[in-house]
A and B are shown apart, each in its own frame.
Chain A
Amino acid sequence: MTGANPEQVLVIGGGLAALAAAISARRAGARVTMLEAAPRELRGGNTRHSRNLRIAHDGPTARIPGIYREEEYLADLAKASDGRNDAHLSQRFVHASTDLPDWLAAQGVVFQTRGIPYSRKTAFFLGGGTAAVNALYATAERVGVRILYDAQADGVDLETGAAGPFRPRATVLACGGAQAAMQAASPRLINRGTPYALGEILRAALAQGAQAVGDADAAHLVAVDARSPSADGGIVTRVDGMEYGMAVDARGARFTDETAVTGPTRYATWGRLIAALPEQRATLVLDADGIDRAPLSVFPPLEAPTLADLAARIGADAATLEASAREAGRVTRPPFFAFPIRPGITFTCQGLRVDETARVIRGDGSPCANIFAAGMIMAPNILGTGYVAGGGMTVGAVFGRIAGEEAACHALA
């Protein structure tokens, strides 16, 4: 397993995309090494924080109810990406999603069929992404993938596929987005996911002439509690329940109609609204009735007997906050409660253009011979700068499989 470096395919990354690539390349017969920047206990990137994937299906299956046809999926993608997705690639992607649950199940992933909200578009991992990650690492080990932890690659040569000491015949870039880099550049943002998403491979590839898709400044943002850890807070830090109170800016003024923002996209809508505020922070204020209605939070609320006292606690202007409460009409009965909010990055929206073999495309339109990309690092091909729930996981798994098979095919040819 060690000694002279045996790999024919090198996979950079340790989340769903990397695991799918490594397992399928290995199953196709190649010798595979996987580099995961994180230590073993924190392996799995943002995948460990995820829960569901979006799957097209023509009828109810054991793992997913209802019907979600490929045409509808494509329409959803076109809408979410404002038509900026790669239509041909998206078609291939949506079609490939159909047998993904079976493939993942064959790799040991277990799906949850009871006790989940009804969702005809998505399938859920039992135990969430970390359980799926554990199952896939176990399978990768069993089939003989060499897995190196604490193994951050700091660059890749687009001509040869070489990375650091590794000289593979084909290389798969599956190292996620650049959330940690964006957070480091704008510390007012919180990185919801892995601190190992530094984006160095993306930057290296772009610097060597790979073609970019998406937008370097765009990210999927969600309203999270300002007391969240600066990275890896995951799913539990989201702030919700604005419609039961009011959301105010740093001064204490409201900036939108809280009851108009509802539905499953409300988290992202709030993330965007708050990121657009000058201070990029806001506060959810609830009264004694509102706190009962708002969903449970892992952080305790700040509390005060009057709005003026609360204003002092959150650094807002008392008169402005009181005026906001009168205007909203929902914040009347003491005591009052506050949750400080910041925008949290789920993923960044710049990536590498790929073709339908998942090969990285250069600026001149020519594909790299032996460099493949899968997962968040190429997701804007499919999602643009938008998002559909469960789409991130599916992009990782679908293109991970394609990249792994194509890389093995190239390496063994």
Chain B
Amino acid sequence: MRSPDAPSPERLAPLAEAGRVATICAVCNYCNGFCEAMRAIEQRGQSPRPSIADNGAGKTGVAPAFSDGDIAYIAHLCHNCGNCLTSCQYAPPHVFAVDAPKALADVRALSWRERPWLALAIFVAVMVLTVALVPWGMLTARHAGEGAFYAVIPWATMTAATLAPFLFGIALVGIRVTRFWRAISGGDDAPMAGSAWRAIPLAIRDAATLRNLEGGGIPCEQSAARRFFHHALAYGFLLCFAATCTATVYHHGFGWLAPYPLLSLPVILGTVGGVGMVIGAAGLAGVRTGGGAAFDTTGDFILLTQLFAVAASGLALLALRDTPAMGVLLAVHLGTVLGFFATLPFGRFAHAPYRAAALLKAAMERRR
């Protein structure tokens, strides 16, 4: 997290507050059985640390127990199950006012740079461009048979338009997650190199099951619901991704052009995935509004809305692909997809790689 330029005051405040809370938790340690975040806090609180900070002009001052990298790591490990807050002897109104989930969520928020208007702008632009460039008759006609979609928007245009923001987004997120990984590894990679491989299955299990939402044995109803809906959303997303990959193979490998029959692999994968996403996104939004989180969740809702829109428009397109509405729906669907891709680096979708990295690091620590 430490960049050469000094962190701005807005960044320092959440880091300092999370550092204060983590220090109290490390000394208290009552919650160490709940999750990886608390285990990591415990570990850093106990391991011998160089307390004396080197300020250049000679050694002075006590360095904080947690570096900014430690704090970022712990923040992305916290799954916000809420157990440590409800179990905290220092929760507000206690003067220590310990609220670990909020402090850590505020640090996570430093990793997102939300630009919801960018997604919206692209959505509108795709719509406008489609309507402007595709002759009206073409757009509202009923298309059928192989290549029907490409009659509305040519294949090359579709591919170029989606690939560009997708690759750009992946690259930006990749750079930031790489920087995050370096910061949380704090230069002590060497002794861990061997353990990384053995840790990968553990990390995959933790990511795939969201084990850290189990609360270490005190699962609350809300966490159970959030886990279920997140699984529906995330696995639905993966199925949609698989559908797109299969379709690409069909297109290039076999020269079969979409639309594919209802019982073809891409459509089945996409339909199941899309339904999962719609249920998951709606469910997560419901659980969130149904109480719980006391902090700003706007970014979560933006991501939920985007994913819901992508999946719902895709399903609508499938349902109505043989009607004159297809042209417009295709534009709508592509608009949501492009908007989503373009905002990959500016939204919370990046939590997936950030969290995967943090879980891998945690698994490596456990393996050591």
Contacts and interface: CB of A to CB of B under 8 A. Distances in A.
A234 interface: yes
A324 B60 CA distance: 23
B293 to A, nearest CB: 18
A199 B8 CA distance: 50
A49 B24 CA distance: 14
B160 interface: no
Interface in A328-354: 335, 337
Residue among A112, A131, A298, A300 having the largest count of chain B Cβ atoms under 10 Å: A131
A235 interface: yes
Interface string A290-306: 01110111101101010
B281 to A, nearest CB: 31
A300 B46 CA distance: 17
Interface in A279-332: 288, 291-293, 295-298, 300-301, 303, 305
B89 A234 contact: yes
B27 A296 contact: yes
A220 B60 CA distance: 37
A128 B95 contact: no
A235 B52 CA distance: 25
Contacts of A298: 23-24, 27
Given A115-B33, A337-B62, A126 B216 contact: yes
B32 to A, nearest CB: 5
Interface residues of A, number: 37
A236 B24 contact: yes
Interface in A191-249: 229, 232, 234-236
A42 B48 contact: no
B28 interface: yes
Nearest to A293: B48
Interface in B72-99: 83-84, 86-96
A1 interface: no
A296 B218 contact: no
Contacts of B218: 110, 126-127, 131, 135
A400 interface: no
B226 to A, nearest CB: 19
A51 B91 CA distance: 16
A114 interface: yes
A130 interface: yes
Contacts of A115: 32-33, 39, 42
A291 B51 contact: yes
Interface string A91-121: 0000000000000000000101011100000
A48 interface: yes
Interface in A117-171: 126-131, 134-135
Given A232-B94, A298-B27, A300-B62, A292 B89 contact: no
A41 interface: yes
B17 to A, nearest CB: 14
Contacts of A127: 30-31, 33-34, 83-84, 87, 216, 218
B65 interface: yes
Nearest to B49: A292
A128 B45 CA distance: 18
Contacts of A130: 30, 86-89
B28 A116 contact: no
B217 interface: yes
B252 interface: no
A134 B94 contact: no
Contact of B217 (A110, A229, A234, A297): A110
A218 B299 CA distance: 55
A129 B89 contact: yes
B334 interface: no
Nearest to A128: B30
Q: In the complex, which of the residues B45, B50, B52 has the most CB atoms of chain A within 10 Å of its own CB atom? A: B52
B61 to A, nearest CB: 7
B45 A296 contact: yes
A182 to B, nearest CB: 21
Contacts of A41: 91-93
Contacts of A295: 27, 46
B26 interface: yes
Nearest to A301: B62
A131 B83 CA distance: 8
A235 B32 CA distance: 14
Nearest to A112: B33
B39 A236 contact: no
A116 B32 CA distance: 8
B217 A235 contact: no
Contacts of B45: 296
Contact of B95 (A49, A129, A229, A291): A229
Interface of A: 41-42, 48-49, 51, 110, 112, 114-116, 126-131, 134-135, 229, 232, 234-236, 288, 291-293, 295-298, 300-301, 303, 305, 335, 337
Given A128-B87, A131-B218, A235-B89, 17 more contacts: A112-B217, A115-B39, A126-B217, A127-B216, A131-B87, A134-B87, A229-B96, A235-B30, A236-B96, A288-B59, A291-B51, A291-B52, A291-B62, A292-B49, A296-B46, A298-B27, A303-B62
